[in-house]
Amino acid sequence: MATLKDISAELGLSVATVSRALNGFPEVNAKTRMKVEATAKRMGYRPNRTAQRLVTGKSNMVGMIAKLNADNTADRTFLEILTGLTAALAERDVDLVLAVDQEDDPVKAYERMLERGILDGFILNAPMRDDPRVDFLTRRGVPFVVHGQTAEDVGYPFYGIDNTAVSTDAVQLLAALGHRRIAFLNGDRSYAFAADRERGFRSAIAEAGLTVPEAFIGEETPSESFGYTKALEMLSGRSGARPTAFVCASTMIAAGVLKAAGDLGLGVPADLSVIAHDDALPAFRAVEFEPTLTVTRSPLRDACVPLANHLIDHIDGTDGRDLQTLVHAELIIRNSTGPVPQGGQDPWH
């Protein structure tokens, strides 16, 4: 591997000048810079990251720790994030070191990674409300970015969607269509996103002058089978009145609900309306649902570039409060939502 010394010897310049030329320092003579750049290219020069790191104190590596779910499957959203994130980090010449957390204590894995002393910062995925990792990293003074929100008015960088609005948008649409019995199939409430969705759901229900029985609310790690089982249960009407609409935390859940509706001979949207939040996972395309699915949409991939940039900027010194992005998911009305069924058209009346 060619080094700065090789180039400087070749050109009769000092390593210092070569270094400055290659790093875009303004004081270098334009001609010198061109010569240096040309020979660097010709000699196939690559800066030695280790040496750079030793002197700058920065590693150009950030960490992410995957957390396995209770059933030992990391969710498929994780791989989606991983794909976008490694690409976005690579754009800024940063590598991703990955670990998988198999323990109960959520900060242990971070502590261990930190001890190895090779990381500039962390990306926190799937945060809980008041996530203990946030507290831990803040106390240690380690830069990090959160995918999502763990609390209001925080000092750290984050990128997330407004999950409260996700639910209120959904409920408002359904209420405007005349629905009064709206069920909610949420994700695991210990995660911040699901907690926010629930708050939004309840407040929008109240806002619309409606009430919701607890039997209409389910929460679990999103899956098709969760949607199927819960919808079947709620639509059986064993617990009194049946819902006429479902708000689903994910398209996977919605797939299960549609299946349950099909099994019960219910038409969507004639007998039942369904709306879901859509992370735009390649494996679950809402436009290919039958009927096409009304969604609040915010592609998971869109989060990756700002996540990477926020973290790197923060490492480079930008204040965390200046690196906070909260986006409003787009409401896309398709064919799975319609007016509440009336009189004779409603098989339950």
Alpha-carbon distances of 80 from 9, 92, 147, 281, rounded to whole Å: 47, 19, 13, 7
Is 14 near DNA (CB under 7 A)?
Answer: yes
Interaction of residue 5 with DNA, rule CB under 7 A:
yes
Q: Does 87 bind its own copies (CB under 8 A)?
A: yes
Which one of 14, 48, 239, 345 is in contact with its own copies (CB under 8 A)? 48
* Residue of 13, 66, 107, 255 that binds DNA (CB under 7 A): 13
Q: How far is the CB of 205 from DNA (least distance, A)?
A: 56
308 is a contact residue toward its own copies (CB under 8 A):
no
3-class SS string, the chain: CCCHHHHHHHHCCCHHHHHHHHCCCCCCCHHHHHHHHHHHHHCCCCCCHHHHHHHHCCCCEEEEEEECCCCCCCCHHHHHHHHHHHHHHHHCCCEEEEEEECCCCCCHHHHHHHHCCCCCEEEECCCECCCHHHHHHHHHCCCEEEECCCCCCCCCCEEEECHHHHHHHHHHHHHHCCCCCEEEEECCCCEHHHHHHHHHHHHHHHHCCCCCCHHHEEECCCCHHHHHHHHHHHHCCCCCCCCCEEEECCHHHHHHHHHHHHHCCCCCCCCCEEEEEECCCCCCCHHHCCCCCEEEECCHHHHHHHHHHHHHHHHCCCCHHHCEEEECCEEECCCCCCCCCCHHHCCCC
Q: State the nearest-atom distance from the C-beta of 245 to its own copies, in Å.
A: 29
Among 9, 34, 38, 54, binds DNA (CB under 7 A): 54
Select 83 or 325, whichever has its Cβ closest to its own copies: 83
Q: How many residues bind its own copies (CB under 8 A)?
A: 39
Report the residue number, 27 or 288, with the smaller CB distance to DNA: 27
**Does residue 30 bind DNA (CB under 7 A)?**
yes
Q: Which does 124 bind (CB under 5 to 8 A by kind): its own copies, DNA, none?
A: none
* CA-based end-to-end distance of the chain: 79
The yes or no reply on residue 97 touching its own copies (CB under 8 A) is yes
What letter represents residue 221's amino acid?
T
Instruction: Tell me if 20 contacts DNA by CB under 7 A.
Output: yes
> Judged by CB under 8 A, which of 8, 17, 19, 59 binds its own copies?
59
1 lies in the site for DNA, by CB under 7 A? yes
Residue 73's binding partner among its own copies, DNA, none (Cβ under 5 to 8 angstroms by kind) is its own copies
Out of 23, 73, 239, 345, the residue judged to bind its own copies by CB under 8 A: 73
Kindly state the smallest distance separating residue 92's Cβ from its own copies, in Å: 12
Rounded Cα distance between 161 and 176, Å, is 23
Q: Is the Cβ of residue 45 or residue 228 nearer to DNA in the bound state?
A: 45
Q: How far is the CB of 305 from its own copies (least distance, A)?
A: 14
Residues near DNA, by CB under 7 A: 1, 3-5, 12-17, 19-23, 26-32, 45-48, 51-52, 54-56
Q: By CB under 8 A, name the binding residues for its own copies.
A: 1, 46, 48-51, 53-54, 59, 61, 66, 68, 71-74, 76, 78-79, 82-83, 86-87, 90, 93, 95-100, 102, 112, 115-118, 282-283
